[in-house]
Amino acid sequence: MSLFEVYTDGACTNNQGEGLQPGGWAAVFVDGPALSGGESATTNNRMEMRAVIEALKNTPPHSHVRIYSDSAYVINCFNQKWIDKWEKNGWMTSSKKPVENKDLWLEMRQLEKERQVEWIKVKGHSGNQWNEMADTLAVAAIPKDKNNDDQSRKEICLYLTQDEKINLLSFLDCNQLNLNDVLKNVLVKLQKLE
């Protein structure tokens, strides 16, 4: 069974601490391509989660995936079985408040069930090249255009190498955004261009 190792990271501005901020995420496949995207109104934790979701989405079901993240929020949720408890107790935290970001947790849970996932905590900014790259891409993906009318628009870029990136938006007409499918499309398109 194929193994995928993915470094994920999220980033979010935090200017005056008031309300939702613009943020970005990235998922870097070891010895492979990288995905990144941004949202104009989100939180740091939602971006960490989004990075993982996109990573999982782009691996085939039943594959073996190693998710490397510096977010204790995400890693502990699975390694310390928080999510098992939430599913049993109606999504309440230990202090009886509703769990935040339930929508994204459910999405992650579904993807995680269909795969064999290992959750690995890494220290942030510790010189690991993949983690650094994820960090760089996530920050770069934060939307800077404050005049953007579409507040919920997401962008996804495919990095073939660190310098060579392709905006996937042009391939989004293929309803299912699976990395393999997109890669095929990209290759076909490139061949036609040559």
Partner RNA sequence: CGACACCCCCUAGC
Nearer to RNA, 63 or 128 (CB): 128
Residue 179 beta carbon to DNA: minimum distance, rounded to whole angstroms: 26
- Catalytic residue list: 9-10, 48, 70, 125, 135
If one asks whether residue 73 binds DNA (CB under 7 A), the answer comes out as yes
Instruction: Write the interaction track for RNA spanning residues 87-126; mark x where CB under 7 A is met and - where it is not.
Output: ---------x--------------------------xxx-
If one asks whether residue 93 binds DNA (CB under 7 A), the answer comes out as yes
Q: Which stretch binds DNA (CB under 7 A): 30-38, 39-47, 55-63, 119-127?
A: 39-47
Burial of residue 186 (CB within 10 Å: 0-12, 13-18, 19+) is: middle
Distance of CA 87 to the CA centre of its chain: 22
Subset of 42-71 contacting DNA (CB under 7 A): 43-46, 71
Q: Which stretch binds RNA (CB under 7 A): 67-75, 102-110, 162-170, 181-189?
A: 67-75
Contact residues for RNA, defined by CB under 7 A: 9-15, 23, 44-45, 48, 70-73, 76, 96, 123-125, 135, 139
